[in-house]
Amino acid sequence: MTHDDTTTRIHVTITGLVQGVGFRYFATTQARRYGITGWAHNRHNGSVEIEAQGQADNLRQFTRQLHKGPRWSNVEHITITEIPALANERTFIVK
């Protein structure tokens, strides 16, 4: 994805039952579905951390899916903060 003026990047922290249930891979599938780049990472405190970048409408749809999570997850809380976009990011990965 190339960076332009309409590209937005967000930092997301998801808490609840979000590790050991395929959450990062679910996020990857949804990111690819909506044309989102970035990454997902399990944190030591049991939460999942995501940075995601794309068009604002696509990010809204992506975060809507994150609120639902995969089948066996139980999302309790999501924090979303807008951060500066990165240039030349091409894919979404699991760290």
Is 33 a domain residue? yes
9, 24, 32, 74: the active-site residue: 24
Q: Does the active-site annotation cover 33?
A: no
Q: Kindly report the average pLDDT of the chain as a whole number.
A: 94
Phi, psi of 50 (to 5 degrees): -135, 140
Is 77 a domain residue? yes
Q: How confident is the model at residue 4 (pLDDT cuts 50, 70, 90)?
A: low
9, 32, 33, 42: the active-site residue: 42
The answer to whether the predicted template modeling score (pTM) of the entire model surpasses 0.75 is yes
Is 1 a domain residue? no
**The domain that contains 29 carries what CATH number?**
3.30.70.100
Task: Give pLDDT, residue 6.
Answer: 80
Task: Give pLDDT, residue 91.
Answer: 97
Q: Does the structure show a pLDDT above 70 at 5?
A: no
Render pLDDT for 37-50 as a digit per residue (tens, 0 to 9). Answer: 999 999 999 999 99
Task: Give pLDDT, residue 86.
Answer: 94
Tokens 């990010």 found at: 59
Q: Does the active-site annotation cover 9?
A: no
Range of the domain at 58: 7-94
Is 46 a domain residue? yes
